Structure 1
Amino acid sequence: MTKRFDEAMRLMRRHNGQDREDGFALLRPHAAEHLDELIEAFRAEEDDRGLRAWLLELIGDARSPEALPILVEHLDHEDESLADWAVHGLQALDTKEARTALYRHRANNAHN
């Protein structure tokens, strides 16, 4: 892990809201560079729902085809914020595969 990523994650885990925001802001412009680390941190995080949502948002912000599987996996997540960030990430990715996943998701949910 890089120093930037470690520092951002340290801040995002603090209880102080401004520190958390600062950590997120530190990573946001570099999400693509840290995609593997973001996915690893997302999968490892079990307790902090807000942090998980931020990590999935950053994964989507990376706009990388490598993010497709984790975004698709969370389209129907019981936590609405994760499902919303998965949709947002797929829309930002805007590849044929991402659009197909969104189409299928919407079609499946239209019948429920």
Structure 2
Amino acid sequence: MKNRIIISVLWIVPLIIIAFLCIYFTNRYNAEKEIDQYIQDYGITKAEISNEEYPLFNSLSVPKGFFKTIYTKEDEGNYYIFQFDNKKVIFSAVVEGNEVSIDDKLIEKLKHQPSEKVLP
């Protein structure tokens, strides 16, 4: 009887872990599609992107959601941050060392300005 319980636990725990990982990677895939569409609507083309970071797992200190950071060839030291959470993409950017939202005046210093599709 004890062996059956141990075997059951050894089967159930990995199945639960696999289920959670499947859900996580499905959500991550869908988030990346939404973020990529937002980037395209924003007006940044793939040719203008010099580097992008989309971490597999976020640290515990960052807000909930998935993040993609975009560096472009024309914006030295500045970069764009796209966060997907609650079925929407939230834009922010780091301009001259300051993280700003889409309606901040410092956004005007970026090479790529938001298009009408993404403005609030």
Q: TM-score range by the shorter chain?
A: under 0.3
Q: Which has the higher helix share?
A: 1
Q: Which has the higher strand share?
A: 2
TM-score, normalised on structure 2? 0.23
TM-score, normalised on structure 1? 0.24
